[in-house]
Amino acid sequence: DQQVKQNSPSLSVQEGRISILNCDYTNSMFDYFLWYKKYPAEGPTFLISISSIKDKNEDGRFTVFLNKSAKHLSLHIVPSQPGDSAVYFCAATDSNYQLIWGAGTKLIIKP
Amino acid sequence: DVKVTQSSRYLVKRTGEKVFLECVQDMDHENMFWYRQDPGLGLRLIYFSYDVKMKEKGDIPEGYSVSREKKERFSLILESASTNQTSMYLCASSKGVKIEQYFGPGTRLTVT
**Minimum-distance CB partner of A97 among B4, B44, B99:** B99
The pLDDT of A33-48, averaged and rounded, is: 94
Residue range A68-92, pLDDT digits in tens: 999 999 999 999 999 999 999 999 9
pLDDT of residue A1 exceeding 90? no
Phi, psi of B83, deg, nearest 5: -65, -30
Contact A94, A29 (CB under 8 A): yes
**Minimum-distance CB partner of A93 among B31, B99, B104:** B99
Q: Could you give the CA distance from residue B9 to residue B11 in angstroms, rounded to a whole number?
A: 7
Instruction: Judge: B99–A95 Cβ closer than 8 Å, yes or no.
Output: yes
pLDDT score recorded for residue A41: 82
A23 in helix, strand or coil? Answer: strand
Query: Which chain A residue shows the shortest CA-CA distance from B46?
Result: A98
Instruction: Judge: A43–B90 Cβ closer than 8 Å, yes or no.
Output: yes
Window from A52-61, B8-17, B88-97 with minimum mean pLDDT: B88-97
Query: Which chain B residue shows the shortest CA-CA distance from A37?
Result: B103
pLDDT of residue B46 exceeding 70? yes
pLDDT score recorded for residue B2: 65
Roughly how many angstroms between the first and final C-alpha of chain A, as a whole number? 38
Cβ-based neighbour number of residue A40 at 10 Å: 8
Residues of chain A whose beta carbon is less than 8 angstroms from a beta carbon of chain B are: 4, 6, 9, 32, 34, 41-46, 49, 89, 91, 93, 95, 97-99, 101-104
Q: Could you give the CA distance from residue A77 to residue A83 in angstroms, rounded to a whole number?
A: 12
Distance from CA of A105 to the nearest CA of B (A): 9
Q: Could you give the CA distance from residue A73 to residue A58 in angstroms, rounded to a whole number?
A: 13
pLDDT of residue A37 exceeding 80? yes
pLDDT band at B1 (very low <50, low <70, confident <90, very high): low
* CA pseudo-torsion sign B31, B45, B37, B111: positive
Residue range B50-107, pLDDT digits in tens: 999 899 999 999 999 999 999 999 999 999 999 999 999 999 999 877 788 999 999 9
Distance from CA of B103 to the nearest CA of A (A): 5
Query: Which chain B residue shows the shortest CA-CA distance from A89?
Result: B42
In 3D space, the residue among B28, B29, B14 whose CA is nearest the CA of residue B85 turns out to be B14
Contact B35, B46 (CB under 8 A): yes
